[in-house]
Amino acid sequence: MTGKKIVILGTGGTIAGTASAAQDNIGYTAAQVGINELLGSIAALEKLPLVAEQVAQIDSKDMGLDTWGRLALRCRHWLAQADVAGIVITHGTDTLEETAFFLQSVLAPAKPVVLTCAMRPATAVTPDGPQNVLDAVAVASAAGARGVVVVCAGTIHAAADVAKQHTYRLNAFSSGDAGPVGYVEEGQPRLSRNWPEAGPGLPVRTLQAMTTATQWPRVEIVMSHAGANGRVVEALLAQGVDGLVVAATGNGTLHHELEAALVKAQGAGVKVLRATRCAQGRVIARPDDTLASAGALSPVKARIALMLELFAAAA
Residues labelled as active-site residues: 14
Count of helices and strands (H, E) across the chain: 8, 14
* 3-class DSSP state of 140: helix
| Binding test (CB under 6 A) with ligand SIN, winner from 6, 71, 115, 117 | 117
- Which residue, 93 or 298, has its beta carbon nearer to ligand SIN? 93
* 3-class DSSP state of 181: coil
Q: Could you tell me what percentage of the chain is helix, strand and coil, using 3-state DSSP and rounding each to the nearest 5?
A: 35, 25, 45
| Binding test (CB under 6 A) with ligand SIN, winner from 10, 13, 109, 130 | 13
- Which residue, 28 or 195, has its beta carbon nearer to ligand SIN? 28
Distance of CA 180 to the CA centre of its chain: 15
Neighbour-count burial of 49, counting CB atoms closer than 10 A to its CB (0-12 exposed, 13-18 middle, 19+ buried): middle
| Binding test (CB under 6 A) with ligand SIN, winner from 5, 33, 52, 60 | 60
Closest approach of ligand SIN to the CB of residue 60, in Å: 3
Contact 151, 181 (CB under 8 A): no
- Which residue, 122 or 245, has its beta carbon nearer to ligand SIN? 122
Give residue number: closest CB to ligand SIN: 92
Regarding 298 and contact with ligand SIN (CB under 6 A), the answer is no
| Binding test (CB under 6 A) with ligand SIN, winner from 90, 93, 116, 276 | 93
Closest approach of ligand SIN to the CB of residue 48, in Å: 24
x/- track of binding to ligand SIN for residues 179-218 (CB under 6 A): ----------------------------------------
Closest approach of ligand SIN to the CB of residue 164, in Å: 8
Q: Cα(143)–Cα(195) distance, rounded to whole angstroms?
A: 11
Strand order in the sheet with 292-293: 219-223, 243-248, 271-276, 292-293
Q: Cα(260)–Cα(266) distance, rounded to whole angstroms?
A: 10
> What phi and psi, each to the nearest 5 degrees, are found at residue 190?
-120, 115
| Residues in Cβ contact with 43 at an 8 Å cutoff, skipping those fewer than 6 apart | none
At 266, the amino acid letter reads Q
Q: Cα(182)–Cα(232) distance, rounded to whole angstroms?
A: 41
- Which residue, 111 or 120, has its beta carbon nearer to ligand SIN? 120
- Which residue, 17 or 243, has its beta carbon nearer to ligand SIN? 17
Closest approach of ligand SIN to the CB of residue 91, in Å: 7
Closest approach of ligand SIN to the CB of residue 149, in Å: 17
Interacting residues with ligand SIN (CB under 6 A): 12-14, 30, 59-61, 92-94, 117, 119
